[in-house]
C-alpha cells in the first residue's frame, strides 16, 4: 500500500501535464487577432458577391454592402457573356489555355529538374543550385522588359507564345521540388529500382513522381494561380484583344467604364466578371486538396 500510493498523484500530475500540452488554453487576444484577420480577408469577397447581384442602377445608388432592389446576378452573367460579341468567352478560353499549358509544363520541368538535382550526381550541381536560388530573388517585373525585347526580335510578341514560354520556367517550383525529392524519396528505393533493371527515366516516372505528388500538386497550384493572375507580362506582350487573358480584358472594361465622356457604365460587368474569375481557382483548390491530405497521411505514417 505504501509503495503504490505515491504513484497515483504522479500519474494524475502526468496526465494533467499531457492534457495541458495537448489542449492549450485559448488566448482571447489571439482569437481577436484571428477574427479580425478573417474579416479582413472575407470582406472584399462578401462585397464582390453582394455587388454582383445588383443592376448598374442599383450599384450606383446603393451602399456597397447592401443589396439592390432586385436580384440581377443572372442578368449580369448573361450580359458579361454577350457584351461586345461575347469577347469575355474568348478571354476565358485564352486564360484557361495559358494556365493549363503553362502550369502543366512548368510543373513537369520543375519535377524533372528537382529530382535530378536531388538524386542524380553531375558536374556543376552546386553552381546550378546557386543560380536557381539567385533567380528566385529576382522579381518577374524586373525581367519583363528584357523578355519583351527578346521576343520582339524573335517575332513572337502578340502571340500566345509570348505568354506561355516565360511561364514554363518556375525557379521557386524547381527549388520546392528539389527539397521535396531530397526528403521524400529514399535512396534505397532508387537503388532497388536500378538493380531491377529500371533506367533513370523509368525510375523517375514510376518511383519518383509518385512520392512527390504532394509537392507536385503544390507547385502546380502555385503556377496555376500565378499565371491566372498574371497581368504585367501579357500587358506588354499583347496588343490584340483576341489574345488577352481575363486580367487584361477586365481591366480594359474597367478603364472604358471610367473614361470621361463615356456614357456607357460597365461597373456591373466588371464586378460580375471578377466574381466569375474566382470560380476556377476555387475548383482547382477543392479538387486537388485530397492530394495534400494523402501526402500528410503518408508523412504521419512514416513518422
Residue 299 has a pLDDT of: 40
Which one has a higher pLDDT value, 213 or 91? 91
Kindly report the number of other CB atoms within 10 A of residue 197's CB atom: 7
Predicted pLDDT at 183 = 82
pLDDT tens digit sequence for 17-47: 544 545 556 778 888 999 999 999 899 889 9
For residues 68 and 58, is the Cβ–Cβ distance under 8 A?
yes
Q: What mean pLDDT comes out for the span 42-67?
A: 85
Q: Which of 130, 111, 137 is closest to 223 using CA atoms?
A: 111
Domain(s) of CATH 1.10.3720.10: residues in the chain: 77-302
User: Per CATH, which fold does 77-302 belong to?
Assistant: MetI-like fold (1.10.3720)
pLDDT at 210: 84
pTM above 0.95, yes or no: no
**Angstrom distance (rounded) from CA 246 to CA 91:** 5
Grid cell at residue 129: 543550385
Q: Give yes or no for residue 297 having a pLDDT over 50.
A: no
Instruction: Give the pLDDT mean for 215-223.
Output: 90
Amino acid at each position: 500500500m505504501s509503495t503504490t500510493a505515491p504513484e497515483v498523484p504522479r500519474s494524475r500530475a502526468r496526465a494533467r501535464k499531457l492534457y495541458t500540452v495537448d489542449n492549450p488554453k485559448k488566448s482571447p487576444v489571439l482569437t481577436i487577432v484571428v477574427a479580425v484577420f478573417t474579416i479582413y480577408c472575407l470582406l472584399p469577397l462578401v462585397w464582390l458577391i453582394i455587388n454582383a447581384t445588383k443592376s448598374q442602377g442599383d450599384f450606383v445608388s446603393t451602399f456597397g454592402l447592401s443589396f439592390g432592389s432586385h436580384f440581377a446576378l443572372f442578368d449580369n452573367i448573361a450580359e458579361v457573356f454577350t457584351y461586345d460579341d461575347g469577347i469575355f468567352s474568348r478571354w476565358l478560353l485564352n486564360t484557361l489555355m495559358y494556365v493549363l499549358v503553362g502550369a502543366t509544363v512548368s510543373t513537369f520541368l520543375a519535377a524533372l529538374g528537382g529530382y535530378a538535382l536531388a538524386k542524380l550526381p553531375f558536374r556543376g550541381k552546386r553552381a546550378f543550385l546557386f543560380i536557381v536560388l539567385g533567380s528566385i530573388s529576382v522579381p518577374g517585373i524586373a525581367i519583363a522588359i528584357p523578355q519583351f525585347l527578346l521576343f520582339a526580335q524573335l517575332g513572337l510578341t502578340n502571340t500566345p507564345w509570348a505568354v506561355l514560354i516565360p511561364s514554363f520556367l518556375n525557379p521557386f517550383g524547381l527549388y520546392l521540388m528539389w527539397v521535396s525529392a531530397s526528403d521524400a524519396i529514399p535512396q534505397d528505393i532508387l537503388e532497388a529500382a536500378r538493380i531491377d533493371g529500371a533506367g533513370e527515366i523509368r525510375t523517375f516516372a514510376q518511383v519518383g513522381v509518385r512520392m512527390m505528388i504532394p509537392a507536385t500538386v503544390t507547385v502546380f497550384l502555385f503556377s496555376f494561380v500565378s499565371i491566372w493572375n498574371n497581368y504585367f507580362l501579357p500587358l506588354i506582350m499583347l496588343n490584340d484583344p483576341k489574345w488577352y487573358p481575363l486580367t487584361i480584358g477586365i481591366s480594359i472594361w474597367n478603364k472604358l467604364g471610367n473614361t470621361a465622356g463615356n456614357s456607357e457604365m460597365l461597373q456591373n460587368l466588371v464586378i460580375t466578371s471578377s466574381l466569375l474569375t474566382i470560380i476556377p481557382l476555387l475548383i482547382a483548390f477543392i479538387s486537388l486538396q485530397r492530394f495534400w491530405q494523402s501526402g500528410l497521411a503518408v508523412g504521419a505514417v512514416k513518422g
